Amino acid sequence: MTKPAVDVNFLLNFLTGLLNTPSPTGYTEQALHFVQDALTTLQIDTHLTNKGALIATWPGAASAHPRALTAHVDTLGAMVKDIDAITGRLRLSRLGGFAWASVEGEGCTIITGDGRSIRGTILPRKASVHVHSGPEVEKLERTDANMEVRVDAKVRSGEDTRRLGIEVGDFIAFDPRVEVTDTGFVRSRHL
């Protein structure tokens, strides 16, 4: 049996496109459609179930021994749990099993209820020794209570943040940091 030719450029374009598609747990529709479009390009029949799963059928030479492959398109992320009334910063709930230290200082995108994207940065509540004195800054535990998103907009209160359209329940997608190296490796937070 000869193996089919692999279109490496197609695979790299698909993978980098999927990795760059925001898809924190609970917000995967855009990623599912991205996969569905790629499978349609390959002339593979697909359909979405009522529960949001994508089913693709690729008939083989015989149907006596069918095989199945499953995969997920959701990634690590967060959800807005609260908006600080004084600073306008966002308190978070984690979506997925990650350590806060692994995303500290990272860029993120807040996806509002009406579909807009607003940029921000994930930081500890006390992120700077220039502002907060003492050893507490370096020893501050990275927990849900101590991490927040600083919105990349001029906000000085929770009211300012809400005027941007940000609300409790909005999704937060972490920057995937996709990189294809000159040695052929693909790097990303979500691999």
Instruction: Average pLDDT across each block of 10 residues of the chain; the chain has 191 residues. List them in order.
Output: 83 96 95 96 93 90 85 94 97 93 94 96 73 62 89 97 98 96 93 88
Checking 126-131 for CB contacts under 8 A at 24+ apart, the result is: none
Distance CA 107, CA 159 (A): 23
Distance CA 107, CA 5 (A): 38
Distance CA 92, CA 169 (A): 9
Distance CA 77, CA 33 (A): 19
Q: Is-contact 161 151, C-beta < 8 A?
A: yes
User: What pLDDT, on the 0 to 100 scale, is given for residue 131?
Assistant: 53
Alpha-helical segments (H) within the chain? 8-19, 29-41, 136-139, 158-163
Distance CA 188, CA 178 (A): 4
User: What pLDDT, on the 0 to 100 scale, is given for residue 80?
Assistant: 98
- Strands (DSSP E) along the chain, which ranges? 45-48, 54-57, 77-83, 90-95, 107-111, 117-124, 147-151, 171-174, 179-180, 186-187
pTM to 2 decimal places: 0.87
Place of tokens 């937060």: 172
User: What pLDDT, on the 0 to 100 scale, is given for residue 135?
Assistant: 62
Rounded to a whole number of angstroms, the CA Rg of the chain reads 21
